[in-house]
Structure 1
Amino acid sequence: MAVELTFLFCLVILSVRANSISDKDLKGKNVIVTGAARGIGYAIADNFLANGVNLIIILDKNVTNGVRAAETLKCKYGRGKTIFIPCDVTKDLQLWDGIIKKHGPIHVLVNNAGILDEDQPREMILTNSVAPIEWSLKFREYARNDKGGPGGTIINTASRSGYRITPFMVSYVSSKHASLAFSKSLGHPYNFKRTGIRIVALCPELTYTAMTAKQTVWDDQLEDYKKVVKDAVWQKPDVVGKAAVHIFKNAESGTAWRIAGGHLSVAPVYLYMTDEEIEKAIKQN
């Protein structure tokens, strides 16, 4: 069941250290959020606007949902606060220059667009891995301090699958491992000190979205998977949106953050689901 967001603070972990940027205030920022027509992306856009961003640019390939999301946010925060641009992040990177020319400067990029469909492994890799890499590198070249840019922040939605090894959703897990590794590598303090580009990763655990409402595993695994996740605590997208605000204001470059059942903590480096754990869950349920 969904629970309200409660943060697990660790003052040492969340303290501002040498690789932290000085400007962690969302007020006045122009922000791109991919895949923000619904779900977690929409929740991030909503909560960013509630914390004073100047402009949210929604990029999504679902035009109907994108228009609806933008109109809802405009009614809530003001007509000039949200723009929707139809975009397939796997194909439309060339839109970047036009966005900058018309709506720049861009201070924050949230790579949230993603799919979960084990029958389309290539499309998942392109959407969940390749696209965030390409858009991040494009933003990095535009915003890096050492080339005259304003600096900025990239937030990549990597999912709990970015640090877990399980026998379920194997292609999706692989795509999110790539996204998380990229975020930590590009966001490494070595890179941050040279560019002023902070990169952090969100790793939401089980969250109610249209994506997770569909069957996510192979037919022959379905019954076992239902038993394995039967007692898991789920959360609503809005708690992830609130966590994204907190992470923006506090997180250091190269870090990854777990949002599990509404609780925020540093993401594990690696979790392996053993066969014994799976068998135990199946027998109990």
Structure 2
Amino acid sequence: MVFDCNEKVALVTGGAAGIGLGYVKKLLSNGFKGVAILDIDESKGNQVAAELGPKVFFLKVDTTNKVKFRDAFVKTIEKFGGLDLVINHARICNESDFELMIDINAKSVVTGTLLAIEFMRKDKGGKGGFVVNTSSILGLSGASLVPVYYATKHFIIGFGKSMGTPVYYEKTGIKVMTIAPGLTDTRLPNNAKFNSGFNGLEERRPIVMEQFKLQPVDAVADCLLLALNVGNNGSVWVVENGQDPFEFKPERPTIT
């Protein structure tokens, strides 16, 4: 079934730059009537909203603040008259402040998903919808440079597959899916901060980077549209190295 983007409303965390902004632009160019961007970068957020026009609603929000995060959902619905899609994309990569990284990369994804369910669930008067959480191909493997970051990406995949089971969908009418991009041309790969307690990690950055082919942001945004159109509830979508996006299917099935 083809996903109809026309007159839909989305809320995107971490949407002021990089992949998050790519999502926003892709949704608008395909017919969304409104997108709320949640980001802590107020300057960049206001700039993006001014450039993209009245269909974009910027809110400066720290997603670790549950009260302000929830208020952003309320304001988005008041602004556009509904909500159809929530994308939890906000993330950082700073091994030296792993508590904050877990708060943003993992806990905030849970908060954003549960808020989406609260406001969109059919059994409470909503119309259902979609939640898409951004993980990474790093969530399908392991590596030495950023172990806690990798762990948060594993968490997102496990959480999404668990929430994307029939027991939830039958009540809520909300599909939960995960996108796992490969290395993408954003600020994150070069700005990732390693654990300062281990010498020699920084020297390994170029060695690791040579193993990947940077893909454009638009490739990940195209993967989002593909997932919305053909993705099953609980599915994980991989896009990397210039290849066509595909659904990742683990050997062990989800326990329902």
- Name the TM-score, length of structure 1 as normaliser: 0.81
1:124 to 94, 101, 117: 101
1:94 to 2:83 alignment:
no
Shift of 1:88: 0.8
2:34 to 33, 55, 59: 55
Task: Name 2:51's counterpart in structure 1.
Answer: 72
Output the CA distance in 2 between the equivalents of 1:104 and 1:161: 37
Q: Which has the larger radius of gyration?
A: 1
Task: Name 1:139's counterpart in structure 2.
Answer: 116
Shift of 1:191: 1.7
Alignment of 1:173-184 (within 5 A): 173-184=150-161
Cα distance change, pair 269–165 in 1 and its aligned pair in 2 (3 A)? farther
Q: Which runs of 5+ in 2 are unaligned?
A: 252-256
Output the CA distance in 2 between the equivalents of 1:101 and 1:215: 36
AA aligned opposite 2:4:
D
Q: Deviations over 1:204-234 (max 9, x none)?
A: 0101111222244345223334223313211
Task: Name 1:3's counterpart in structure 2.
Answer: none
Question: SS of the counterpart of 1:33?
Answer: strand
Shift of 1:136: 0.8
CA contact 1:129–1:179 (8 Å) conserved in 2: yes
Task: Name 1:266's counterpart in structure 2.
Answer: 247
Task: Name 2:221's counterpart in structure 1.
Answer: 241
AA aligned opposite 2:246:
S
AA aligned opposite 2:87:
V
Task: Name 2:254's counterpart in structure 1.
Answer: none
Percent of paired sites with the same residue: 28
Task: Name 1:85's counterpart in structure 2.
Answer: 59
Question: SS of the counterpart of 2:3?
Answer: coil
CA contact 1:189–1:254 (8 Å) conserved in 2: no
Task: Name 1:42's counterpart in structure 2.
Answer: 21
CA contact 1:163–1:268 (8 Å) conserved in 2: no
CA contact 1:240–1:262 (8 Å) conserved in 2: no
- More relative contact order, 1 or 2 (CA 8 Å, 6+ apart): 1
Task: Name 1:276's counterpart in structure 2.
Answer: none
CA contact 1:144–1:150 (8 Å) conserved in 2: yes
Shift of 1:72: 1.9
- Name the TM-score, length of structure 2 as normaliser: 0.89
Output the CA distance in 1 between the equivalents of 2:194 and 2:39: 25
Shift of 1:128: 0.6
Q: Which runs of 5+ in 1 are unaligned?
A: 1-21, 75-79, 271-285
2:10 to 9, 19, 31: 31
Output the CA distance in 2 between the equivalents of 1:135 and 1:145: 17
Task: Name 2:137's counterpart in structure 1.
Answer: 160
Cα distance change, pair 63–242 in 1 and its aligned pair in 2 (3 A)? same
Output the CA distance in 2 between the equivalents of 1:244 and 1:49: 13
Shift of 1:179: 1.4
Cα distance change, pair 39–232 in 1 and its aligned pair in 2 (3 A)? same
Shift of 1:24: 2.0
Output the CA distance in 1 between the equivalents of 2:175 and 2:242: 24
1:226 to 2:226 alignment:
no
CA contact 2:96–2:194 (8 Å) conserved in 1: no
Aligned residues: 244
Output the CA distance in 1 between the equivalents of 2:8 and 2:248: 27
Measured on the aligned residues, the alpha-carbon RMSD in Å equals: 1.7
Shift of 1:108: 0.5
CA contact 1:203–1:267 (8 Å) conserved in 2: no
Shift of 1:148: 1.8
Cα distance change, pair 170–102 in 1 and its aligned pair in 2 (3 A)? same
Task: Name 1:254's counterpart in structure 2.
Answer: 234
